[in-house]
Amino acid sequence: MSSSASPDVATVGFLGLGAMGAPMAAHLAAARRTLVWNRTTSVAEAHAAAHGSREVPLEGIAEADVLVSCLSRTVDVVDVARRLAADLRPGTVWVDCTSGDPEPSRVLAARLAEHGVTYLDAPVSGGTNGAEAGTLTVMVGGDADTLERVRPVIDAFAGRVVHVGPIGAGHAVKAVNNTLLAANLWAAGEGLVALASAGVPAATALEVINASSGRSFASEVLIPERVVTRQFPVTFTLGLLAKDVGIARGVLDAAGSPAPVLRQVAELLAVAVRELGPEVDHTAALQLVERWAGTEIR
């Protein structure tokens, strides 16, 4: 959803024009002056040419009133923030849309606060389709008043914005959400290969399951569109999903929660990354389930 510029946010700076960041920054550029930086500069130059954003060197991004980052991992955000530290301006708000790690993000927030910069963790859900449509769900941790100040910025790429708690809470919700995605995907895959061996084609099994209580986003969308078609299009890599599930394990540890099912999902995804590599689509994890069962989901 696009929104009109709010008076105290004249310029936005976007860091990280990947599969998610590029369309998010395009929505921002349609609404207000938007500076863009990407580690691979040619990507930012192409974004500027296509969407009317302005490509800047890293230090140039500090001119913005609100910084939005969407990098792979928290360690990448910490590294970029360290390189940018000398140029940061007091009063800046840093909205981190990376699916990140709560504890190092709290440390980063404290470091940024020394420069007068307020950090919000604001990971997103909805995939590349949601980013392109500007309908992402954004789960925000940090100061609620600061969120209200920058909400018009976030609204440019969001369909829903939920304040979920203090700094790190957004990352924690995202990690648990994606662990549920992984659990549903893997469990549906195990069920479907067993049904295929029992003589039930995937399309028939899914017709029943998706009208019944065993359905999930995996059974309704991911498996029919990506697995049954054998296309496995790479929009969200297995490596990034495994990263999220690993972060969730830290959340479980911090809570002192046994959570045997969710921990098992983390183990399985780690095996899948070892066997298939991190760059395949996350749904390709079911190729491992198929290999173990000796049956394809078709």
Which residues are known to be catalytic? 174
- Least distance between ligand NDP and beta carbon 144 (Å): 23
- Least distance between ligand NDP and beta carbon 198 (Å): 33
- Least distance between ligand NDP and beta carbon 188 (Å): 19
Q: What is the DSSP string of 228-295?
A: TTT----SSBHHHHHHHHHHHHHHHHHHT---HHHHHHHHHHHHHHHHH-TTSBGGGHHHHHHHHHT-
Residue whose CB is less far from ligand NDP, 180 or 194 = 180
Q: Which of 187, 201, 135, 150 is nearest to 2 (CA)?
A: 135
- Least distance between ligand NDP and beta carbon 81 (Å): 11
Q: Residue for token digits 């960041």?
A: 21
DSSP 4: P
Residue whose CB is less far from ligand NDP, 31 or 181 = 181
Residue with smallest beta-carbon separation from ligand NDP: 18
Between CA 252 and CA 207 the distance in angstroms is 35
Residue whose CB is less far from ligand NDP, 157 or 209 = 157
Tokens at residue 141, please? Answer: 């941790």
- Is the Cβ–Cβ distance between 44 and 99 less than 8 Å? no
User: What is the binding site for ligand NDP (CB under 6 A)?
Assistant: 16-21, 38-40, 43, 70-72, 76, 79-80, 98-99, 124-125, 127-128, 235-236, 240, 244
Residue whose CB is less far from ligand NDP, 39 or 54 = 39
**What are the φ/ψ torsions at residue 283 (nearest 5 degrees)?**
-70, -15
